[in-house]
Amino acid sequence: MSNQELLTETANAVESTRKRAGRTKRWLSDETGIPYPTLNRKVAAKTEFTFTELFKIAEALGVSPAEFTPIAFTRTVRTDGKAA
């Protein structure tokens, strides 16, 4: 998976979660302290989100930060506790 694909997947996850929560980008900017122009660039997949920003966004929207984890980074754990 390319860097741009990861950026896009993360940005799409943030945007879809924000929309499901019924919040505007302006509200999210105000709640997280991420400047509005910066948030716009990030949800347009032009620049990367930091872990701290994703945590703040998740907290503001009342979801787990894992909501924004690209599929390529997820793993399945077997019943014996080992990674699949």
Q: What is the 3-state secondary structure (H, E, C) of the chain?
A: CCHHHHHHHHHHHHHHHHHHCCCCHHHHHHHHCCCHHHHHHHHCCCCCCCHHHHHHHHHHHCCCHHHHCCHHHCCCECCCCCEC
What pLDDT sits at residue 80? 67
pLDDT tens for each residue of 11-62? 999 999 999 999 999 999 999 999 999 999 999 999 999 999 999 999 999 9
- Position 43 scores a pLDDT of 97
Please, which pLDDT band fits residue 78 given cuts at 50, 70 and 90? low
What are the percentages of helix, strand and coil residues in the chain, rounded to 5?
Answer: 60, 0, 35
3-73 has which CATH code? 1.10.260.40
For residue 9, the model assigns a pLDDT of 93
Output the pLDDT for position 40. Answer: 97
Domain map (residue ranges) of the chain? 3-73
